[in-house]
């Protein structure tokens, strides 16, 4: 029986659950399921359905449909095991106390803490919301494990390196290339930043969370929420995928080695399920090492079964990856110079780490511990925690934004999911020690639910979205601040209205290489209309609106040059 469970990828599940699963599905190997371009792989896997007599009844069909929706829409914030992180815990007893009708209200209208209204945004139907309200009152189904055997079996080298071009075969200005996530279609659009024309649409994993580029600028790496990674060669006449791999069944982060001498050589991907990170050959995606992040929380020293890898960045000053482990509150500095004798520095930061970015010097990494209303600052040169900075309610910076403040010197900023402020933190302990690791300004955004803030070294503007605000006008608009006069209120611009779109959320400002344009996604319904709006950064007027039936639910956009150089 133990051998059977290991073969099914169920070795670490509770014995009673594992046996029940194996008996119910004797001929299925869930850890070998390989799904491309669909919803979260975790949601698609068969799982043992536990029943609770105190929970409202569900049919098997309803349960199966609900768990797919949960992993696609909810697990990122609330966790696969529903223990909470960015979102609150959704444990059965708590949910049963709230009851189906109350839960339906939360799901329909959202909350001030940043949870979107799935009903008011037409993302879920009334029937689906009723089904989800009942589903989360049942115990969470447990997905199977995923080890090196399964990871390696999923690896597909479509075009070996020796069969790829020896020189660039197209006339694309790669430095100003934009990679655009088409969330619900499981695709990626490559858009020429100069002409604003779509170069190609590529099939990827579902809801690509992030795009990263190799140090040379030749290769593009994506990871979908379903754990599927695509390696795309940008030198080909028309860029195409040359390798794929699945590192798990739920994922969010990927990056590549940037330290001098290691350009393009090593890739790393972090997974939500199983909680781990995987080191790979950067040219082929061949997996080299998988490392679990299960362990003990830094503060209470309690074992946690689901410490997810939330974000990863690559150091410019050392051969290291900065790996942020959400639930245990630990930042790992993973030295990739010798994978056989892997050296890792473990830093105690704060729990529920999420996303973050570098300060302007590229020495300090600032990461949001959003459920603790904190930004943790890691000194990657010294390999230790520099500070924990208290900010607003649920910080969500994306990569954040850096500029030289007229009064406080170098600063970095984050918006918040749970309030309408933007926290500005001093980042120069050498020349502005009195301001370092303190909130020196609190700016007024036009709404809560901010996902991203952005500026550019050549810009005097700071742009902020409010994409998850429950207020219709707020999530269609952006705030733009004059960095030379931050005492003045922000200008609020309705980007969706400019695009002529009535249903949509505006998100993810991204600059072009020159720093004179800022691009926004107008994220409409899957069956509706979406767009990319390009604003003139200096005049704050619309420069272009990119519309195309193929632009289905565009979300994140990544400019190649700015992404490689960590310019934000």
- Answer for the pair 44, 143: CB distance below 8 angstroms, yes or no: no
Joined together, the tokens standing for residue 381 give: 């040169």
Q: b or e along 196-205 (b: 16 or more beta carbons within 10 Å of the residue's beta carbon)?
A: bebbebbebb
Say if CB 227 and CB 185 are below 8 A apart. Answer: no
Partners of 190 in beta bridges: 179, 200
Residue 49 burial class via C-beta count within 10 angstroms: exposed 0-12, middle 13-18, buried 19 and up: middle
Contacts of 246 (CB under 8 A, 6+ apart): 34, 41, 146, 150, 151, 154, 226, 227, 228, 229
* Cα atoms found within 13 Å of the Cα of residue 549, Cβ hemisphere only: 0
Tokens found for residue 129: 């919301």
Q: Which residues are catalytic?
A: 74, 77-78, 115, 354, 396
SS3 content of the chain, % helix, strand, coil (to 5): 20, 35, 45
Those residues whose C-beta lies under 8 Å from the C-beta of residue 371, and which sit 6 or more positions away, are: 84, 85, 86, 351, 352, 394
DSSP 363-392: SEEEEEEGGGTEEEEEETTTTEEEEEEE-S
Q: Which of 36, 67, 80 is nearest to 185 (CA)?
A: 36
Residue 274: asked if its preceding bond is cis (omega within 30°), the reply is: yes
Residue-wise burial string across 388-411, b where 16 or more C-beta atoms lie within 10 A, e elsewhere: ebebbbbbbbbbbbbbebeebbbb
Nearby residues of 103 by Cβ (< 8 Å), 6 or more positions away: 95, 132, 133, 136, 137
Q: Which helix (H) or strand (E) holds 102?
A: helix 100-109
CA 255 to chain centre: 12
């Amino acid at each position: 029986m133990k051998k059977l469970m290991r073969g099914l990828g169920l070795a670490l599940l509770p014995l009673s659950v594992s046996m029940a699963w194996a008996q119910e599905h004797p001929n299925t190997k869930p850890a070998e399921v390989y799904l491309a371009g669909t919803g979260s792989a975790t949601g698609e896997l068969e799982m043992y359905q536990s029943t609770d007599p105190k929970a409202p009844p569900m049919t098997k069909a309803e349960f199966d449909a609900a768990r797919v929706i949960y992993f696609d829409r909810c697990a990122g914030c609330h966790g696969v095991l529903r223990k909470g992180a960015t979102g609150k815990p959704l444990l059965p007893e708590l949910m049963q106390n709230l009851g189906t009708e109350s839960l339906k209200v939360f799901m329909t209208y959202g909350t001030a803490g940043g949870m979107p209204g799935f009903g008011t945004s037409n993302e879920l139907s009334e029937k689906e919301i009723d089904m989800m309200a009942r589903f989360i009152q049942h115990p969470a189904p447990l997905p199977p494990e995923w080890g090196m055997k399964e990871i390696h079996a999923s690896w597909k080298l479509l075009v070996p390196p020796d069969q790829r071009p020896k020189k660039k075969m197209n006339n694309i200005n790669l430095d100003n290339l934009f990679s655009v996530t088409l969330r619900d279609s499981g695709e990626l659009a490559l858009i020429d930043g100069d002409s604003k024309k779509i170069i190609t649409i590529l099939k990827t994993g579902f809801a690509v969370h992030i795009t990263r580029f190799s140090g040379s600028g030749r290769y593009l790496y994506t990871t979908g929420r379903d754990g599927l990674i695509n390696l795309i060669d940008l030198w080909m006449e028309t860029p195409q995928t040359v390798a794929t791999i699945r590192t798990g069944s739920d994922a969010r982060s990927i990056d590549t080695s940037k330290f001098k001498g290691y350009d393009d050589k090593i890739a790393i991907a972090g997974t939500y399920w199983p909680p781990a990170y995987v080191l790979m050959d950067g040219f082929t995606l061949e997996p080299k090492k998988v490392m679990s992040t299960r362990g003990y929380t830094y503060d209470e020293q309690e074992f946690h079964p689901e410490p997810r890898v939330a974000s990863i960045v690559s150091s410019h000053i050392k051969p290291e990856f900065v790996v942020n482990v959400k639930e245990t509150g630990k930042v790992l500095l993973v030295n990739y110079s010798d994978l056989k004798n892997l050296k890792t520095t473990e830093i105690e930061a704060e729990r529920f780490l999420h996303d973050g970015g570098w300060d302007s010097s590229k020495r300090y990494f600032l990461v949001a511990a959003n459920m603790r209303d904190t930004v943790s600052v890691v000194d990657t040169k010294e390999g230790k925690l520099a500070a924990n900075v208290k900010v607003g309610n649920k910080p969500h910076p994306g990569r954040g934004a850096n500029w030289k403040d007229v009064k406080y010197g170098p600063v970095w900023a984050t918006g918040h999911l749970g309030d309408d402020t933007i926290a500005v933190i001093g980042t120069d302990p050498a020349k502005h020690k009195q301001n370092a690791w303190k909130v020196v300004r609190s700016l007024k955004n036009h709404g809560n639910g901010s996902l991203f803030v952005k500026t550019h070294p050549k810009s005097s503007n700071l742009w902020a979205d409010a994409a998850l605000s429950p207020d219709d006008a707020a999530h269609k608009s952006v705030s733009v601040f004059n960095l030379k006069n931050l005492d003045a209120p922000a200008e609020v611009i309705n980007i969706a209205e400019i695009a002529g779109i009535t249903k949509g959320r505006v998100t993810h400002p991204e600059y072009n290489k020159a720093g004179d344009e800022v691009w926004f996604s107008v994220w409409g319904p899957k069956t509706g209309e979406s767009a990319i709006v390009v604003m003139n950064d200096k005049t704050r007027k619309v420069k272009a609106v990119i519309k195309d039936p193929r632009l289905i639910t565009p979300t994140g956009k990544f400019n190649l040059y700015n992404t490689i150089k960590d310019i934000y």
